[in-house]
Structure 1
């Protein structure tokens, strides 16, 4: 049975949709086999998705110094149903931050710590004005996560 990488990414704008597409592209890299990739917006994802995955990549915008309301809603609905079942779940995060992303990162880190998920890489904070480099960085993050899952390292 293939291992499953769940990508939950809030993408309310053309640029954030490009980031979500880059994450999917990286996770589905042609040299990575045996990984099922599931991509969902936060409002469509829930505890069953988390219970069925082997690793998770979260993507959010910075909204008023915090994660998107959609990602917070996902955590609100999923936290207790997955708390005991998914401890140690490998996870990664990218934040599209118009400012510094610090509050957003801290908020997600607090929830992930409570869930006892395991960071496989420091959160990727994409700060300031849009840069084409952001999509490449997110693609690389997702590819690294998928490759680690495929290799059994996660």
Structure 2
């Protein structure tokens, strides 16, 4: 029987830079010191409620689009919300936002939906604001490592 914990990463990556961020989260989650976590990475349009129901924790990633989350992540939530509502309460989650501006509206939207789902945020949101900087990749890598290591250690 497979006893590995399952970490799901659902992140919208429409550009080379946002793909680097998603890959950095995955690299962090697959850190060599994390041994008991199976990582699955899906684009929001490829993920659905069955993926959420099968995971032990989730990391979300999105761009800031017109002051809101990406349409792809919103679509993921639209398809997953009701099938997961009563079955995933307390699901540990974290998220990052690639924000060209301030990320406020995007952050508020994700907080609203995940509060409705009664998921448990395990780290403050990572908001990568302004012009793209390479340090965003290290921050995303740390996010992935933190969540996977917490899951591996049974802290979440």
TM range (shorter): over 0.9
Is 2:63 the partner of 1:61? yes
Alignment of 1:99-138 (within 5 A): 99-138=101-140
Residue in structure 1 matching 2:23, options 13, 21, 24: 21
Alignment of 1:44-83 (within 5 A): 44-83=46-85
Residue in structure 2 matching 1:6, options 2, 8, 22: 8
**What residue number does 1:33 align with?**
35
Determine the C-alpha separation between the residues in 2 that align with 1:125 and 1:31. Answer: 26
Runs (5+) with no aligned partner, structure 1: none
Determine the C-alpha separation between the residues in 2 that align with 1:105 and 1:55. Answer: 19
Deviation at 1:135, TM superposition (A): 0.4
Q: Any idea what the Cα deviations from partners look like across 1:21-48, whole Å, max 9, x if unmatched?
A: 0000000001110100000000000000
Count of residue correspondences: 154
Determine the C-alpha separation between the residues in 2 that align with 1:21 and 1:60. Answer: 13
Runs (5+) with no aligned partner, structure 2: none
Q: Any idea what the Cα deviations from partners look like across 1:81-119, whole Å, max 9, x if unmatched?
A: 000000000000100000000000000000000000000
SS of residue paired to 1:85: coil
SS of residue paired to 2:31: coil
Is 2:83 the partner of 1:84? no
* RMSD between superposed Cα atoms in Å: 0.3
Deviation at 1:138, TM superposition (A): 0.5
TM-score (norm 1): 1.00
